[in-house]
Amino acid sequence: MIVLLAGSHGRLGERILALLLRRGHKVRGLVRTEGQAAALRELGADAVVADLRGDIEWTAQGCDAAIFAAGARHRGDLGAIDAAGAAKLAEAADRYELSRFILCSVVGAQHPERHDGAIREFLAAKRHAENRLGRLGVPGSILRFGRLTEQPGSGRISTAVGATPLRTSRDDAALAVADTLGRRHLAGRIVTILDGDRPVAEALDAIPPRPLPPPAPVPTGVRVPLGAAQADNPPDDPDMIEHDAPPLDADVDWEGDGPVPPEPVGNEDPAPRIP
């Protein structure tokens, strides 16, 4: 699988990159400088130089999946990177019909209004990206991490908020991303990833797939198709049918006075005198 990885030069992205390469994936790292690109190529990855604040759609062409693991280093770039950059990468994945998209987000993105200042702006940027992904057709998964730490990973996580502190080892976060990539049942799901005591693969497998949407309601009124309207017709009232009425002859295709008109034979012109 060819995987486009935004943020491949960051602390989380470099861990995801290493895992994907070890698992045999071809990784195309999206980086901002030629120096970063050269470093990725030395590791065995491909690299494209582009800025998430600009045009990045072309970077997804030829890929099978994409992962957004980037993050703004400065508060002023939150809107351009965490919000718009992630949204543009999701749109690129949708444009090129990628089979998977993973968005690295954060616990609390669903309620940025509960906070103030920089935290509120950070969570609002993540929510914007989540909302944009949710409106697209690409099979995407959103992974919400706690506060990322440099603690060595245990390979175990929790997917429930409240059972553990809101912290996530970057090692385990990267493992969750790599394991989510191959689990198609997580498409359309938002998954919390926190430090816990359950093996990552087992915890992800325990998450049920997204339920199918309910069937569309049957249209009514002027928009209802004729067939649907007639399907709901009540049965005929016996009092309205004469007891000696002949049955309907379905083979009759001529109604009117006089003899049945002759049918044209072969290519005979039915109106020879009309130019």
Total domain count, the chain: 1
The answer as to whether 177 is a domain residue is yes
The answer as to whether 250 is a domain residue is no
CATH code for the domain in which residue 40 is found: 3.40.50.720
Q: Which residue has the tokens 């001529």?
A: 254
Please report, rounded to a whole number, the percentage of residues in the chain having pLDDT higher than 70: 77
162-176, 184-198, 221-235: which has the minimum mean pLDDT?
Answer: 221-235
Per-residue pLDDT, 219? 61
Structural domain of 196: 2-205
The answer as to whether 210 is a domain residue is no
The answer as to whether 228 is a domain residue is no
| pTM as predicted | 0.77
The answer as to whether 66 is a domain residue is yes
Q: Is pLDDT of 260 > 70?
A: no
48-57, 112-121, 218-227: which has the minimum mean pLDDT?
Answer: 218-227
The answer as to whether 267 is a domain residue is no
Read off the pLDDT band of 213 (50, 70, 90).
low
One-letter amino acid of 170: R
For the segment 118-122, the average pLDDT, to the nearest whole number, is 95
**Pick from 123, 119, 120: which is nearest to 144 by CA?**
123
Distance CA 210, CA 111 (A): 22
Per-residue pLDDT, 48? 97
The answer as to whether 214 is a domain residue is no
The answer as to whether 232 is a domain residue is no
Q: Is pLDDT of 258 > 70?
A: no
- Other CB atoms closer than 10 Å to residue 189's CB: what's the count? 17
> Helix H segments across the chain?
11-22, 34-43, 84-95, 117-134, 170-181, 200-205, 226-231
